[in-house]
Amino acid sequence: MANINLSDFILKQVTSAAGKVDIPSNLKEQVLGGMSDSIFGSLTQTATKAGGIDEIKNLLTGKTSAAKSGITDLATNLFTKNIVSKLNLGNLGGTLTALIPGIMGKLGGILKDQDGDGDVDFNDIIITLKGGSKPASTGSGLLGAATSILGGLLKKK
């Protein structure tokens, strides 16, 4: 999967999975965006904790099942707290929340050796987050923060 943009990929998977669920049209954009943000947020938050990089690597390379991943649990919790409860989705919230492990499972296998150094490492995670281009600079916003945090945690081995 060359030139993947992780946030776009997540949104595509969320939209596909939720397509079979009857979401009220006035809430659809908030629900889909909220689910995507929760999944991406769980990856970002995991990157900041001890051992988080390995958790992400194991999930994105398919070594860890999405159903058993703490990252999936975090995404579910974020979605429940930030979207389901705030929009008062009731049973629909449970139906949507149940989609998260399947969506996370689609992330397995997307992380590959993108910088050609023979292994999957910090640079490959950053390249994947940026959308498949080699990082020239860390940028700003969420990616810049994630890059800075990841760099600090790993000390760029």
Q: Can you give the pLDDT of all 157 residues of the chain as single tens digits?
A: 444 567 788 888 899 999 889 999 999 999 999 999 999 899 889 988 999 888 988 887 788 899 999 999 999 999 999 999 999 998 999 999 999 999 998 877 666 666 677 776 667 766 666 655 544 444 444 445 455 555 554 444 4
Evaluate whether 150 touches 126 at the Cβ level (below 8 Å): yes
Q: Is 46 exposed, middle or buried (0-12, 13-18, 19+ CB in 10 A)?
A: buried
Q: What pLDDT digit, counting tens, does each position of 106-132 carry? A: 877 666 666 677 776 667 766 666 655
